[in-house]
Structure 1
Amino acid sequence: MRGMRASRLLSTLLLLQTRGRMTAQELADELEVSVRTVYRDVESLSAAGVPVYADRGPTGGYQLLDGYRTRLTGLTSDEADSLFLAGMPGPAAELGLGTVVATAELKLLAALPAELRSRASRIRERFHLDAPGWLREADQAPHLAEIAEAVWNQRVLELRYRRWAKPREVTRRVRPLGVVLKAGTWYLVALADEDLRTYRVSNVLAVQTLDERFDRPADFDLPGYWQEWAEQFEARMRGQQAVIRVSPEAMGWLRALLGTFAADAVRASAGEPGPDGWVRAVLPIESVRHAHVELLKFGGMVEVLEPAELRELMVRTAGELAALYEGSRRILPS
């Protein structure tokens, strides 16, 4: 408790140093304590010789004597590590580092000269990272903080995990090496026996941190591993192929509607344009049904040539759409 109060007193002092005058209610909101606690903390600061004084009245508040600056701005090791996530408050909070990040930023701002502090505030006002992709919510990963702590402390984990293959639920003992945030979804990279594996954290049903510690492989490179794994994963997901004709207009929409991997594959396999500007190309697909949905986004800008099953499915859908809209046109008022 004494350590918590000391940390809160320091936070109060740094808030007043970085923001100037603040009311008791504003301090209470920032520190997540009661106004009465703020009163007691300010009295303690004054008793310790900190020149903090109160302005009375409806627009009053607490502030430090002009020119006073504390030198107690040293970052703890956890706070210094968390600065790499300072632009990602949401993911930092999911990892259990939200409070640490906020305290680190406050200490950093307090240590900066006035002109740099103003610049830092402008950056916060003008740049924001929103990790999840469009039209989807971020995964719910209730065990993320415990997993991240085990990664940091090099502790072996026992996971109960839900997967696609049967049996659906399995138990795995793993050595966690890192966590990755990809478009709002968290993944755990870990050693299971001697094999590197990737687990979707939202599919972890239960986790137990064991007393056993492990040594990280000296040559393990998390960003390098993730890039290679992600490329292989997308290639596996798109293990089939379709032959298509692509209009010049559709070429400009490939990346937006199909993603980088598929768009690059189409461009790389594209032949010479015909008299109408259309090109013949090969599209990696996950399945006929999945490709059917993806290619409908292009309307009449893409024609499927092969496989026959996919072409027939596109023809049937086009006929159903034509009949639907033709029927709608007959019943619409003139």
Structure 2
Amino acid sequence: MKLERLISIIYKLLNNEVLSASMLAEEFQVSPRTIYRDIDVISAAGIPVISYQGNKGGYGIVDGYKMDRSLLGSYDVDYLITVLKSLSTVFEDERAQGTIERLQTIGEEHKHQNLSVDFESYRTEPEALRQLRSGITERKVVRFDYINAQNERTARDMEPLQLHYKYSNWYINGFCRKRQDYREFRLSRMLNLTLTQETFQPHDEMPKEDLTSDNVWRNKVSDVVIKVRKEALAEALDQFHQVDKQFQDDGSMMMRIPVYEPLKARWLWSILLSFSSGAEVVEPLALRVILKERLQNTIKLYEEV
């Protein structure tokens, strides 16, 4: 885990005069190039790492910057412990647990915990997360069936590279052999996940950022305006908290939600329909038509009831 490695490197630099990149790479079972990137991250965080040249060269931290017990204050340590505890629970990571124990020796004990972080999700099987992480660390191909946004089911073989957590869901980035390109998959849509014994080597060319993607995204974003009645305020705020909101005299709320291609955003339709009569789309008109058709199709399923 990168966070664990960074913390460990910081403590090693604090407790040693000079450490070489090759020594650190061997200990953490990564390449010297990875250590160079780690040192850049540590330096960017404001820690004065200095480089020593020569046969006995390497990296160290400026003597005047070293503290008696820790570079991190108890406030920082407490928050690091909280985040690591949640991650170690999800992944059953013994190494992260070891880091937690080391951090606890320098952090102050508090009777009341003022922060709790939970990375677990009912949408994702914990075992799937562990298999994917094993695929990343051991460079093994994973195989699964995937349901895309168009509800199409396809079989995929992927070389997993990175797990990340966003919007209350886990996602995996990697090289999809079916598409012969890098893709992002949402774990909740993955079925029959298998960690194969086939290993892979990283591709020479990593995905490059599309410099025009931001402009393309902005050009296809439109505002969806909804009127939320009092009985649905809590549900709507849970879904759309960071949007423009304005209370009306009758206690309802107008919400203006920027959405990428709202007439194709099935995820948005599902949320709006889940409010039942508690929310009404004011604009765009075409979205009102779409929701009306979906409601009519749903009613047809229950005509005989």
Short-chain TM bin: 0.3 to 0.5
Question: Of Structure 1 and Structure 2, which has the larger fraction of its residues in helix?
Answer: 1
> What is the TM-score normalised by the length of structure 1?
0.43
> What is the TM-score normalised by the length of structure 2?
0.46
